[in-house]
């Protein structure tokens, strides 16, 4: 089966919701030409970062670690490509404080992935007691629609090339062209699914979890 996808185009911004066949999902990281590095005795995060010409913090984040953690001999590390370096470092450029996209804080069920073959370019929260979905930033509603796998969804456009996506809604309570403020109601969450939440800056997928970790209103 061929890879399918729907692309929503807003000016120069493309937000993609790919749907992968089972055959595509069976790919492994080795099939993506992912660059890796095997740790040798005496290596450090900053030493490897200098060798590979990448920021040490970016290298650690891509591997789910921090630079304060020890490395182990023969450990295999993923080395970020240019796109991944840009994606991880871009989170720090967002100045506006984010509002949590649900009525109350919920745990993350599926984390953000930098892997190119992963169909999800955002995060998904567990379905908790909160059904209220709200805007994380002030902005404009540029698209509302339905798609299998994401149910009803809303796309907001913000300043500085930012877009946020809210999926798995049972009911949408905004219309295209409407201006919203942070914390404004967007809709009601589906009864059996957690919120899908995605943030893009221009054509780059950002990690919503890292942005939320800075604190929210």
Q: Say yes or no: 124 and 49 in one domain.
A: no
* Cα-based angle 68, 73, 76 (whole degrees, multiple of 5): 80
Place of tokens 């099939």: 31
Place of tokens 């020890």: 70
Q: What is the CATH number of the domain that holds 61?
A: 3.10.350
Q: Say yes or no: 73 and 112 in one domain.
A: no
Per-residue pLDDT of the chain (217 residues; tens, 9 = 90+): 333 333 343 333 344 444 333 333 333 344 345 688 999 988 888 788 878 877 777 888 888 888 778 899 999 998 877 655 555 555 545 556 789 999 888 999 998 876 655 566 899 999 988 899 999 988 899 999 998 888 999 999 888 778 899 999 999 999 998 999 999 999 999 998 999 999 988 777 888 888 887 654 4
In-domain check, residue 88: no
- DSSP single-letter state for residue 101: S
Q: What is the CATH number of the domain that holds 9?
A: 2.70.70.10
**Residue 31, CB-side half-sphere exposure with 13 Å CA sphere:** 9
Domain that holds residue 156: 4-23+95-212
Look at strands 179-180 and 196-201 and give their pairing.
unpaired
């Amino acid at each position: 089966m061929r890879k399918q996808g729907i692309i929503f185009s807003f000016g120069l911004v493309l937000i993609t919701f790919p749907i992968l066949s089972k055959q595509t999902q069976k790919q492994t990281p080795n099939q993506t030409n992912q660059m890796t590095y095997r740790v040798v005795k005496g290596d450090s995060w900053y030493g490897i970062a200098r060798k590979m010409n990448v920021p040490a913090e970016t290298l650690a984040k891509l591997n789910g670690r921090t630079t304060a953690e020890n490395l182990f001999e023969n450990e295999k590390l993923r080395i970020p490509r240019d796109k991944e370096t840009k994606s991880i470092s871009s989170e720090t450029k967002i100045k506006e404080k984010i509002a949590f996209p649900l009525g109350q804080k919920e745990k993350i069920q599926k984390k953000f992935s930098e892997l190119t073959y992963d169909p999800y370019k955002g995060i998904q929260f567990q379905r908790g007691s909160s059904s209220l979905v709200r805007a994380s930033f002030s902005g404009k509603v540029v698209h509302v629609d339905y798609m299998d796998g994401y149910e009803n969804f809303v796309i907001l456009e913000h300043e500085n090339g930012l877009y946020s996506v809210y999926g798995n809604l049972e009911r949408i309570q905004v219309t295209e062209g409407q201006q919203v403020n942070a914390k404004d109601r967007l809709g009601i969450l589906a009864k059996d699914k957690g919120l899908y939440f995605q943030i893009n800056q221009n054509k780059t997928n950002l990690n919503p979890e890292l942005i939320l970790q800075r604190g929210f209103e």
